[in-house]
Structures are given as structure tokens and as C-alpha cells.
Amino acid sequence: MKKTMKIMSNIISTLLIMTLIVMTFLVISSRASGGEPEIFGYQLKTVLSGSMEPTFHTGSIILVKKLDEAGELAESDIITYLQENEQLVTHRIIEVVQQGESVLYRTKGDSNENPDTNLVLSENVVALYTGVSIPLVGYVLSYAGSPLGVAILLIAPGLLLIGYSIVTIRQAVKEIDAKTKALQASEKGETVS
């Protein structure tokens, strides 16, 4: 029984510490990058609309690889690009259009009936979808960017870890007290119940 409790205690401690580390990374990274966390040229983007369903759903996060140049993009690639209003959009390329020296892309959301009205300049393509999507985590990421989110996502795991440490210390103290009483009783020749 004690061995099982020790294993459970180690698992809980590890999970709390990992949660604190992940939350710290998400909060710091989202604050530093101005919204979405980024690591090794990959960035997490939050899906804000249903235009790409069923490929990925609203509230999901998607992993994209940042591109310095659009390079060799092809039909059916899913790209994140900058619109004229400085808003990022992630849609699928349905046609590659060559206009003289320039390469343009006709895009469309998977659930949209019609293609997007404007062609995308290759210079406006900022990232390529990697195929990784995690449902619902985008809501947490968006929340992590807010001041209240920062406080809750950093403080809550920390408080849980402190609380768990207090419980563990109290249990250790009780065990030490019981052993001390048993030792004192055995020295006196008494039995302790």
C-alpha cells in the first residue's frame, strides 16, 4: 500500500511540475511573440473560424512552419497568409497562378462554397500547415494572452504544487512522529497502538 501511495505521489508531483512548465512556456512564448507561441521556426496558430472544417475546427491550434519565401508551394497545400487588412488567414491553395515573374495563389476555405476573392501574392505567404491540429487548445492559448489568463495559468499550477507539497510534508512528519513514538515505546518496553 505504501509503495502504491509513493508511486501515485511521484506521478502527481511530476504532472504538476510538467503542467507548471508547459503553462509557463505557453504564457511567456505567447507574450513574446505577440500572440502564438513559437519554437524552432514552428508556430502555433489558433483557429478562429470554421472556414477550414473538417480539416481543423474552431478553437483548435494548428502547427505551421514559418516561411521566409513561399518557395515551391503546390495545389492543395494549406498556407497561412497576410491579407490586405493585416489579418492572417489559413486556407488551402486550389490553384497556382503564374503572372509573368510573379506567382500567385488562389485559395479557398475547405467549408466555403467559393474561392477567396483576392489572389494571394507569394510575398504574403507566412507559413505552411504541417498537418498537426489539436482541438480546443486554441481557447486556452487565446486566454493565456490575456492578463487574467497569465495570472491564472501561472499561479494556479504553482498553488497546486505548493498545496501538494504541504500535504506531502505533513504526511512525512506524521510518519516520523509515529516512528519516534514507536522507538521511544520500545526503549521503555511498552507497546504502542
Catalytic residue numbers?
49
Are 185 and 191 contacting, i.e. CB atoms less than 8 angstroms apart?
yes
Residues 6+ apart with CB under 8 A from 190: none
For residue 145, what is its C-alpha cell? 494572452
Are 138 and 35 contacting, i.e. CB atoms less than 8 angstroms apart?
no
Residues 6+ apart with CB under 8 A from 122: 69, 70, 73, 102, 103, 104, 105
CA 162, CA 139: separation in Å to the nearest integer?
27
Q: Is the peptide bond before 54 cis (omega within 30 degrees of 0)?
A: yes
CA 67, CA 103: separation in Å to the nearest integer?
15
Residue type, 128: L
Phi, psi (rounded to 5 degrees) for 11: -65, -45
